[in-house]
Amino acid sequence: MTKQEFAELFTLLCTTYNKEATKTLMSAYYMVLSELSKEQFQDAIKKMLATRKYTNLPMPADILEAVYGNPDDEALIALKELEDAMGIFGAYKSVIFKNKLIMACVEGMGGWQIICQMPLDEWKFKNQEFLKLYRAYTRGGKYPQVDYLIGIAEQKNRFEGYLEDADKTPVYLVGYELNYPAELPALTVKANVGAQKKSIENKRDIMKMITVKGMGC
């Protein structure tokens, strides 16, 4: 977000809360919020005006929370999504989460296969580690990039040298706007996240790739 874009929206925000948008105040807020896009800042203002009951000017932390959500709440939602996927797919299937932060946390805890095979009584304690790690990554803003989480079936094929079979192993999509069990072959996922240096980000991209798969490519 440019300084000009920020200034226009911040002035609007200050006016709404009967606060003068001084240069000093604007500089302090921009120092914290400059990495937001104009759309993110604009949406955060709309959200706060619709839901916030306090009459004082929101602090930068309030604005960031309006954009990214409360770290504690987000962590609990992410844990629920993870546990649902563990129950549906299990250790043998490879998965890719739309929420890349979930995958970073899983890798940090030893990997998909490890947590899926963990005894329930152990997981009841281990899932607290997930919550702490998720909150830490959320607040820090940086975390390891993970392409997808490899299941036992794909890993076994690769280890034994059956690379063609490994590349055809389904990678199941979690958190996308598709009905389960949406899937892509591992080779397609690798091409997308490796060669193109990006992950599948929306339904349109996924549907294009599924169409290609259906054509036998």
* pLDDT confidence of residue 166: 79
* Mode of pairing for the β-strands spanning 183-185 and 94-97: unpaired
- Residue range 176-202, pLDDT digits in tens: 865 545 666 666 666 665 433 344 444
Res. 205: pLDDT tops 80: no
* pLDDT confidence of residue 67: 84
Alpha-carbon distance 81 to 88, whole Å? 11
Confidence of residue 42 (pLDDT cuts 50, 70, 90): very high
* Mode of pairing for the β-strands spanning 94-97 and 170-174: parallel
* pLDDT confidence of residue 212: 39
Mean pLDDT taken over the chain: 83
Res. 72: pLDDT tops 90: no
- Residue range 18-35, pLDDT digits in tens: 999 999 999 999 999 988
Res. 158: pLDDT tops 80: yes
Sheet holding 170-174, edge to edge: 94-97, 170-174, 183-185
- Residue range 113-150, pLDDT digits in tens: 999 999 999 999 999 999 999 988 887 777 888 989 99
Alpha-carbon distance 185 to 13, whole Å? 48
* pLDDT confidence of residue 198: 43
pTM of the model: 0.62
* 60-68 helix and 38-51 helix, angle to the nearest 10 degrees: 100
Structural domain spans, the chain:
3-68, 70-217
Lowest mean pLDDT across 54-58, 90-94, 211-215: 211-215
Q: Tell me the percentage of the chain whose pLDDT exceeds 70.
A: 81
Confidence of residue 79 (pLDDT cuts 50, 70, 90): very high
* pLDDT confidence of residue 167: 83
